[in-house]
Structure 1
């Protein structure tokens, strides 16, 4: 019985530690925040970039927009310590898109740290931008990001997450598109209220995972304590029994 208790406690402690560590790594991706928008509208969101390397800093971030879903305009918000460039390219031939005659599309936005600036270890940075107009016939808008470290390493976040499938190792920042309300006022798919709601939901999910991880560690510690106590009592009872004989 004591050995069984000790094994159970060890399993509980390991599960708690895994949950606690998982809570920190699950959010360590380049993501769009908020990650929902309305079909056919413009979207305002922040590209959230965490620094994952303990001995290197992020000095350049590039967001690439899908070529098959042309975007006519991109606006950015100034970020102290970072230079911003928006790059467009001409389409092979003009296309009619949502009532517009497009001859070029925005393909990428790049943020480059000025000398002395970077996203350091255990830090993250948000880069605000507004893009439009989003597709009217798609459920997702999948982008791709490149994160460059001052060590020379380049990490590409460009793997789409399959519907109902497991998240890949380097998921691409993605907007989930929802239908408009039919009133003709699509909205931006974000805004301060929705941005705050998304952050609150993310924080709540992270806090829950950490609470569960902590609870697992507590249960594991209690189990180890009970198991150790049982072992000591068993040994003491054995010594007392031997003496009586």
Structure 2
């Protein structure tokens, strides 16, 4: 390669290397930004149809570096209470549905309720590992009937660790505001015709399984958007690194 060719080639290579380095840095930043967004308790209903019954799955990741999660308590709405709550058994955990008086009588399905289920508490059995460091667990509750379409169902959750630390997932984001540091799990109901998965009361009563759900041992999972962003960031960073190494080798 003559000197003129070398002079014209080096700046292009330098520009390419700088661009790839920027891409790799951006990819890494995207990966780091995507993970924390999913590192909190999520509530995912299998249906949001108003007046129907839904199985809500609570995904609880362990965010402690040293202690296991031993208790999870979910507070249920009182302004739009559920008249029916049942839980799916989870191996190594016991569950208690606590009922109590409502702040004010509420009409649900033509019936005036003065008391209703107020909370569900899952507690790790003695000798159980609970939710160990680097793991998550899923708990399911069959609830209903759901309130009218457009209702925001907020489910504040308290997560307790073996060392006494408590994570209070109860902050509610204002309309148009970003996600708070400790967001409460929530979902919004839809019109019955918009969701064809809603079940009747009879179906809801038959939903709770008698077979304990298997404990999960994988690392905490992100929601689909976070997984996609994380995967894209990682792939971009790796691709940039490979290209830089190949170019250096050829030079």
Give, in whole Å, the separation in 2 of the partners of 1:220 and 1:77. 46
Q: Give the length in aligned residue pairs.
A: 220
- Residue 64 (structure 1) shift: 0.6
d(CA) in 1 for partners of 2:168, 2:107: 32
Partner of 2:173: 161
Q: Deviations over 1:186-213 (max 9, x none)?
A: 437x99xxxxxxxxxx775454323311
User: Match of 2:188?
Assistant: 176
Matches of 2:96 and 2:223, distance apart in 1: 31
> Is the Cα–Cα contact under 8 Å of residues 3 and 227 in structure 1 kept in the other structure?
no
| CA contact 1:42–1:131 (8 Å) conserved in 2 | yes
Name which structure has the greater RCO, CA cutoff 8 Å, separation 6+: 1
Report the TM-score when normalising by structure 2: 0.75
Change in Cα spacing, 1:87 to 1:203, as seen in structure 2 (3 Å) is closer
Which of 94, 98, 102 in structure 1 is aligned with 2:113? 102
SS of the residue 1:47 aligns to: strand
Higher radius of gyration, 1 or 2 = 1
Partner of 2:6: none
Distance 1:123 1:182 in 2: 35
Higher mean Cα deviation, 99-108 or 17-26? 17-26
Rate the CA distance shift 1:53–1:113 in 2: closer, same or farther, 3 A. Answer: same
SS of the residue aligned with 1:90?
A: strand
Equivalent in the alignment of 2:237:
217
State the distance in 1 between where 2:131 and 2:123 align. 11
| 1:137 Cα deviation from its structure 2 partner | 4.9
Mapping of 1:49-128 within 5 angstroms? 49-117=60-128, 118-128=130-140
Structure 2 CA distance for aligned equivalents of residues 100 and 54 of structure 1: 47
What's the counterpart of residue 11 of structure 1? 22
Rounded to whole Å, the distance in 2 between the matches of 1:35 and 1:171 is 20
Q: Following the alignment from structure 1 to structure 2, what is the Cα–Cα distance between the partners of residues 205 and 182?
A: 23
DSSP-derived class of the 2:58 partner: strand
Task: Give secondary structure in 2 for the equivalent of 1:215.
Answer: helix
TM-score, normalising length from structure 1?
A: 0.76
More deviation, 218-227/34-43: 218-227
- In structure 2, what is the Cα distance between the partners aligned to 1:45 and 1:54? 28
Partners of 1:9 and 1:225 in 2: CA distance: 11
Q: How big is the shift at 1:129?
A: 0.7
Shift of 1:164: 4.6
One of 173, 187, 208 as aligned partner of 2:228:
208
User: For residues 161 and 134 of structure 1, what CA distance do their matches in structure 2 show?
Assistant: 21
